Amino acid sequence: MRQVDGPPGLPPLTGPGVGAPAGLPGTAPTGPSAPAGDPFGQLLRQFVAEVNHQQQVASQTVQALQQGQPVPLHQAIIAMEEASVSFQLMVEVRNKLLEAYQELMRLQI
């Protein structure tokens, strides 16, 4: 069972579906799809895992607020905004990487 730390004052998330999916930090990569010296791939996996964690923390905070637990409203709003901004950043990074890849494919050799 995995555990994800939540915001202060709330219990951590636990359960089989919580945490990083296979191939992300915290899991053991296996096979030829995970080369040993791939720092760029590791950086991307870590970035996606951090965005996922922020999404889970925001979800947990909002759920606790809805259940009437003593969670300050500003803390819930901040968690949601952090998750939103980090997701938007991840999408923009993906777009820039895709543009760079497409530019490389257009190069004449």
**Tens-digit pLDDT profile for residues 29-87:** 444 455 567 898 899 999 999 999 999 999 999 999 999 999 999 999 999 999 999 99
d(CA 82, CA 75): 11
The whole domain housing 40 covers 2-14+36-106
Inform me whether the pLDDT recorded for 26 exceeds 50: no
DSSP label at 9?
A: T
> Which residue shows structure tokens 């777009």?
95
Q: Is 24 within a domain?
A: no
Q: Is 28 within a domain?
A: no
Q: Is 3:18 a contact under the CB 8 Å cutoff?
A: yes
Whole-structure pTM value:
0.62
What is the mean pLDDT of the segment spanning 5-9?
55
Inform me whether the pLDDT recorded for 97 exceeds 80: yes
Q: Is 95 within a domain?
A: yes
Helices (H), the chain: 39-66, 73-106
Q: Is 40 within a domain?
A: yes
pLDDT at 108: 82
Number of domains, the chain: 1
